[in-house]
């Protein structure tokens, strides 16, 4: 019995240490746990994962846009557009103020990677789609540019490419006449890396992880701390959660 | 028959009209090619107003196309003789406006070149996806219906074909209204009343278009509409206009009752700049009150052209109503954080300022040109003029009140 107890304690301690080590960065953008999550090329995304994010608005500084810049650099969203209303924004900083109390927050807003995404429901061709691991994407090959998904998104998270594009990142195909939005840096996640915005946030306000893994840090924090789903009333079950609002 | 358009002497007039229609259509298609080449950066549309003026034109054409067939349905389905003779013209108008509306929607797509993708990849949870089935189906049914009306051997099938068209167009307009009604996100939409409201709007707008086209054809042929038939048609138009008023009133009153919607209603009805102006001045005064005055004031309604003028006002009101509904609904900011004010570089929390650019106007007007050209050619090559046998109608009691 004692031996069994010791063995159990050892296994528990080992698992805890491994989980802890998983969040130790071994190089910029790569940590041990993430390397273990990298999928071999050709292997389909799995329902065993649900990638998501926890954003702590208490740690997010007003005026800081490191996440926005990192996204623009990574995904080459740098085209010059005469009308700023026509410029693509995959992630943006929103300043919010409570009308009653006057309390203010600043937070990044992007595609919330809903479990029940309205954009996927309304897309006539199926170009808007949700991967098995919960990442909501637009298939560039079958998007016809009808913008119905933009009408349906409650978060204003989607942009329409209003002009020809050049100098794209080969891993992030974009195109004139198509709708696009945050991909959760799927090309990086599939390699076991963090989304560019999360990596760039020096305040530690953005935590990326697997919501389907009860032992992941994001799951543990969501289980233990008060978090918010934006427009929770719509019951879309977003993969991005917030704290402090 | 003495239709001027089919008479040899009036061939130049036909070619002139056809040429004008073709030119307007070509300019519209040219504008679409310009948008295709440069992207939508040459339009006034943006990431908040994602559907703009072309959609106002397209949805008017598609909704009116469905409604104009009402005239045929009353004849074929409900057996009213006066309307039976008008079935073919209604069918032609339906076909032409539906085609033109779809062309405008198609040419406004970001990737219009991917039409085959749209035709071969249908997402059944999408209301747009349903419309991919409803619109082609409507074309097919209208063609068969016209065939049963034109070909003597097919006459017995005109009633079932008319019934199929009647049911199908109710589904079609339900589908068009539900494009908006099923959107949970925006405060202007997410209402079950929108689908039936679109159906009744289609009746009014289709009737107005029919009256104007019928008037033009009668004038070119030196004919006049029998006063009793005219009275019947104008009264029906008035009923439809009144019904639209009822549905719009219910839509806004419901919103006004919900605290969360009051700010939006205030924007549309009171302080939203061009939108209250178009709502009250355009839809309410021009599109609703004036037509009813023209139709129901005895001195005015007897004047020649008063019903045509009322119909024109109904159409002007329709465009104003759609502009407020579509553009106004998008211009009002999304309420992402209820109870909070928001601001960002993406214009969160701000009312969007939209000015339609020239290519958008040209594409929309081009759509009208396409419908016009199809109708001009249609009435030239086939017998679409509604001719009433008054003696027979009176003998059968069809003109009795």
ipTM for the assembly: 0.91
Name the packing angle between helices B127-150 and B158-181 (round to 10°): 160
Q: How many CB atoms lie within 10 A of CB B357?
A: 18
- Chain B residues 79-138 with CB within 8 Å of chain A: 109-112, 114-115, 117-118, 121-123, 125-129, 131-132
Give the CATH architecture of domain B9-383.
Up-down Bundle (1.20)
pLDDT for B49: 96
Q: How many CB atoms lie within 10 A of CB B231?
A: 17
Alpha helices for B69-114 (secondary structure H): 70-76, 81-84, 87-108
Contacts of A139 in chain B (CB under 8 A): none
Q: Is B40 close to A162, i.e. CB distance below 8 A?
A: yes
Contacts of B179 in chain A (CB under 8 A): 148
Closest by CA to B246, choosing from B238, B360, B209, is B238
Sequence spans of domains, chain A: 1-37, 40-243
Q: Is A121 close to B125, i.e. CB distance below 8 A?
A: yes
pLDDT for A158: 98
Higher pLDDT, A16 or B249: B249
Instruction: Extract the tokens encoding B355.
Output: 């000015």
What's the gap in Å between the CA of B212 and the closest CA on chain A?
32
| Whether B41 contacts A162, CB under 8 Å | yes
Closest by CA to B216, choosing from B356, B334, B375, B322, is B375
Alpha helices for chain A (secondary structure H): 2-21, 32-37, 66-75, 118-122, 148-152, 186-189, 196-200, 217-224
pLDDT in tens for each of the 401 residues of chain B?
A: 344 444 445 788 889 999 999 999 999 999 999 999 999 999 999 999 999 999 999 999 999 999 999 888 887 777 777 777 888 899 999 999 999 999 999 999 999 999 999 889 999 999 998 988 899 999 999 999 999 988 888 888 888 999 999 999 999 999 999 999 999 889 999 899 999 999 999 999 999 999 999 999 888 878 888 888 889 899 999 999 999 999 999 999 999 999 999 999 999 999 999 999 999 999 999 999 999 999 999 999 888 899 999 999 999 999 999 999 999 999 999 999 999 999 999 999 999 999 999 999 999 999 999 999 999 999 888 878 777 777 777 777 766 65
Q: Is the model's pLDDT at A82 over the cut of 80?
A: yes
Q: Is the model's pLDDT at A34 over the cut of 80?
A: no
Secondary-structure breakdown of chain A: helix, strand, coil percentages, each rounded to the nearest 5 = 30, 20, 55
CB environment B256-280: b (16+ within 10 A), e (fewer):
eeeeebeebbebbbeebebbbebbe
CA distance B104 to B107: 5
Contacts of B39 in chain A (CB under 8 A): 161-164, 176-177
Q: Name the closest residue on chain A to residue B42, using Cα atoms.
A: A162
What's the gap in Å between the CA of B31 and the closest CA on chain A?
16
Q: Is B47 close to A151, i.e. CB distance below 8 A?
A: no
Instruction: Extract the tokens encoding B69.
Output: 């067939």
Contacts of B123 in chain A (CB under 8 A): 123-126
Comparing CB atoms, the residue among A84, A120, A147 nearest residue B51 is A147
pLDDT for A9: 53
Contacts of B48 in chain A (CB under 8 A): 85, 156
Q: What's the topology of domain A40-243?
A: Alpha-Beta Plaits (3.30.70)
Taking the CA atoms of residue B342, residue B347, residue B352 and residue B357 in that order, the dihedral angle to the nearest 10 degrees is 180
Give A28's pLDDT tier (boundaries 50, 70, 90): very low
CA distance A185 to A165: 19
Sequence spans of domains, chain B: 9-383
pLDDT for B319: 98
Q: Is A151 close to B51, i.e. CB distance below 8 A?
A: yes
Q: Name the closest residue on chain B to residue A153, using Cα atoms.
A: B185
Q: Is B126 close to A123, i.e. CB distance below 8 A?
A: yes
- Chain B residues 28-57 with CB within 8 Å of chain A: 36, 38-41, 45-48, 50-51
Q: Where are the beta strands (DSSP E) in B230-336?
A: none
């Amino acid at each position: 019995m004692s031996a069994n107890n010791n063995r159990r304690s050892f296994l528990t301690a080992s698992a805890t240490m491994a989980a802890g080590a998983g969040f130790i960065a071994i190089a910029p953008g790569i940590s041990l746990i993430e390397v273990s999550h990298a999928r071999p090329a050709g292997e389909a995304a799995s329902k065993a994962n649900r990638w998501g994010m926890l954003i702590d608005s208490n740690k997010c500084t007003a005026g800081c846009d490191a996440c926005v810049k990192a996204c623009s650099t990574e995904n080459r969203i740098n085209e010059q557009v005469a009308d700023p209303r026509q410029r693509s924004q995959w992630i943006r900083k929103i300043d919010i103020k409570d009308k009653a109390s006057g309390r203010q927050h600043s937070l990044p807003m992007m595609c919330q990677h809903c479990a029940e995404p309205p954009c996927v429901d309304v897309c006539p061709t199926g170009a808007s789609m949700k991967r098995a691991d919960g990442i909501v994407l637009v298939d560039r090959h079958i998007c016809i540019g009808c913008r119905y998904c933009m009408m349906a998104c409650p978060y204003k998270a989607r942009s329409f490419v209003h002009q020809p594009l050049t100098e794209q990142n080969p891993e992030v195909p974009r195109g004139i006449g198509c709708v696009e939005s945050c991909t959760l840096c799927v090309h990086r996640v599939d390699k076991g890396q963090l989304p560019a915005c999360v990596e760039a946030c020096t305040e530690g306000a953005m935590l990326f992880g697997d919501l389907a893994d009860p032992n992941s840090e994001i799951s543990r924090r969501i289980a233990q701390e008060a978090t918010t789903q934006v427009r929770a009333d719509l019951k879309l079950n977003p993969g991005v959660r917030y704290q402090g609002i | 028959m003495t239709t001027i358009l089919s008479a040899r002497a009036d061939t130049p007039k036909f070619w002139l009209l056809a040429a004008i229609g073709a030119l307007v259509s070509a300019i519209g298609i040219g504008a679409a090619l310009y948008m295709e080449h440069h992207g939508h950066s040459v339009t006034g549309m943006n990431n908040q107003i994602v559907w703009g003026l072309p959609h106002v034109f397209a949805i008017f054409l598609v909704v009116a196309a469905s409604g104009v067939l009402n005239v045929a349905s009353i004849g074929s389905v409900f057996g009213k003789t006066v309307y039976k003779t008008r079935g073919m013209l209604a069918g032609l108008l339906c076909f032409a406006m539906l085609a033109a509306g779809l062309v405008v929607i198609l040419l406004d797509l970001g990737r219009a070149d991917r039409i085959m993708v749209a035709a071969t990849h249908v997402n059944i949870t999408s209301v747009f996806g349903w419309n991919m089935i409803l619109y082609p189906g409507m074309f097919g049914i209208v063609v068969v219906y016209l065939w049963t009306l034109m070909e003597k051997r097919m006459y017995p099938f005109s009633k079932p074909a008319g019934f199929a068209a009647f049911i199908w167009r109710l589904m079609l307009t339900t589908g068009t209204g539900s494009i908006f009604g099923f959107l949970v996100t925006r405060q202007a939409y997410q209402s079950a009343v929108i689908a039936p409201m679109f159906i009744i709007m289609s009746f009014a707008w289709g009737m107005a278009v029919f009256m104007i086209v019928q008037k033009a054809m009668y004038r070119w042929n030196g004919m006049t509409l029998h006063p009793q038939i005219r009275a019947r048609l104008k009264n029906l138009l008035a009923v439809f206009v009144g019904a639209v008023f009822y549905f719009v009133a219910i839509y806004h009153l419901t919103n006004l009752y919900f605290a969360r919607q009051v700010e939006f209603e205030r924007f549309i009805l009171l302080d939203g700049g061009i939108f209250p102006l178009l709502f009250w001045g355009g839809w309410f005064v021009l599109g609703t009150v004036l037509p009813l005055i023209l139709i129901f004031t005895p001195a005015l309604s007897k004047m020649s052209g008063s019903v045509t003028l009322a119909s024109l006002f109904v159409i002007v009101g329709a465009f104003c109503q759609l502009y407020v509904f579509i553009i106004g609904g998008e211009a009002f900011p999304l309420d992402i954080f209820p109870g909070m004010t928001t601001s960002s570089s993406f214009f969160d929390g701000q009312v969007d300022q939209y000015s339609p650019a020239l290519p958008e106007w040209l594409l929309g007007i081009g759509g009208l040109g396409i419908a016009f050209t199809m109708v001009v050619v249609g009435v030239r090559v086939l017998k679409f003029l509604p001719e009433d046998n008054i003696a027979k109608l009176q003998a059968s009691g069809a003109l009795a009140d």
